[in-house]
Homo-oligomer: A and B are copies of this chain.
Amino acid sequence: MKHTMLAVFFFLSGTALPGFSQATQPAVVEDFKPSALNQPGQEYPQVNSQGYARFRVKAPYADTVKVNLGGQGGPYLTKGADGFWTGMTEKPLDEGFHYYHLAIDGGRFNDPGALSFFGWARWESGLETPAHDQDFYALKDVPHGHVQQILFPSKSTQTSRRAFVYTPPGYEKETAKKYPVLYLQHGRGENETSWSNQGRANLIMDNLIAEGKIKPFIIVMTYGMTNEVTGRINDFNIAPFQTVLVDELIPYVDAHFRTLTDRANRAMAGLSMGGMETRLITLNKPEVFGSYGLLSGGVYSADDLKGKPKPKLIFLSCGSKEYPDRIQKAVADLKAAGYPAVSHVSENTAHEFQTWRRSLRDLAPLLFKN
């Protein structure tokens, strides 16, 4: 059994022989600390200031333990005499949040040291590497909004569906005030918990509000039914989710929260496949939403928008490691056609949550301006 696994090891590691790939990387700085997303009291995984991550997993009788960080790679771990498997990423990870899991003896398990986050269509382990701009999503001593779990009736799906609603600080006290609303969608493989848990949307908002950078608004996050695609993503039928969102969730939110209900005060944005949903729904229901955001989620063309009520804002973003040229060209074309479009590129990030945290930070101040 051991021999079989060693064969697999060498086959998979291929060109990334130890000492070889390391040679092109900076020297590792010994300032490792537990990841901010560890389970209580857990020392591992650890991350350092450069973005290297170290892992330590107890499994004394296992034959192989590998870390799988998706597009960010992930090392095979080495067993020590104490029964713990340890190892470090081959290179610094991008800044911010990463999903990962462990491959142990051919099975897929979460790291017992880390908290779990819903992504890749399951609760995966999460790892947080320090970012130069992490202050904007840090938990600070400022007034905090609340995040409410609501269960809203859905006739079309014959169940009570869950959503999370961020209400800004002061919402409970300023009882005469009504607020604009952003409907904010997760990506494929994620769900209604993702924007709060890994996106830290509530803390981003709390901090922007404390700094006076935005007009307070409500955010509503629900499950976009994006994990029920069996075929190609282009075969996804938007109709069931559009019904839930527009005919069931919006009326519930408008009845239970102090919202401004005109188009100018309702926005929709989404990341990745949530951007695809945003594009389809805003084009189908332009009378419902006044501002649109696609975060690593494609673009609008002037042709898409022709003959429809004009949006107040079109926000297109992605990471610099994605397709910034496409975003910037689309925005230039939209502007030339007379549309209020803005682009945002997150530096040195890929199709991951750091791109979308930054996108929310930059989108929020542009929304609901008079």
Partner of A59, one of B107, B140, B141, B146: B107
Q: Which of A4, A58, A112, A115 has the most CB of B within 10 A?
A: A112
CB-based nearest B residue for A122: B39
Interface residues of A in 59-81 (CB under 8 A from B): 59-64
* Bound Cα distance A257, B148 (Å): 13
| Chain B residues with CB under 8 A of A39 | 122-123
* Bound Cα distance A64, B105 (Å): 11
Question: Taking the full assembly, how many copies of this chain does it contain?
Answer: 2
A117-153 vs B, Cβ < 8 Å mask (1 yes, 0 no): 0000111000000000000000111001011111111
A40 interface hit (Cβ, 8 Å):
yes
Residues A112 and B110 in contact, CB atoms below 8 Å apart: yes
CB-based nearest B residue for A256: B172
A232 interface hit (Cβ, 8 Å):
no
Partner of A63, one of B40, B61, B112: B61
* Bound Cα distance A257, B175 (Å): 11
Residues B141 and A160 in contact, CB atoms below 8 Å apart: yes
CB-based nearest B residue for A65: B107
A225 to chain B, nearest CB (A): 11
A106 to chain B, nearest CB (A): 4
A19 to chain B, nearest CB (A): 27
| Chain B residues with CB under 8 A of A175 | 175
Residues A107 and B116 in contact, CB atoms below 8 Å apart: no
Interface residues of A in 67-117 (CB under 8 A from B): 83, 104-110, 112, 115-116
A57 interface hit (Cβ, 8 Å):
yes
| Chain B residues with CB under 8 A of A233 | none
A119 to chain B, nearest CB (A): 12
Q: Interface extent on A, as a size class?
A: 35 or more
Partner of A160, one of B60, B106, B139, B160: B139
A242 to chain B, nearest CB (A): 21
A-B contact sample (10 more), CB < 8 A, given A59-B107, A172-B257: A4-B61, A40-B122, A60-B107, A62-B104, A104-B105, A109-B112, A110-B110, A116-B116, A139-B151, A173-B255
28 A-B pairs with C-beta separation under 8 A: A1-B63, A39-B122, A40-B121, A58-B106, A59-B105, A60-B105, A60-B106, A61-B63, A61-B105, A62-B62, A62-B104, A62-B105, A62-B107, A83-B106, A104-B107, A104-B109, A108-B112, A110-B112, A116-B116, A116-B123, A139-B151, A139-B159, A141-B153, A144-B151, A146-B150, A147-B148, A147-B149, A148-B148
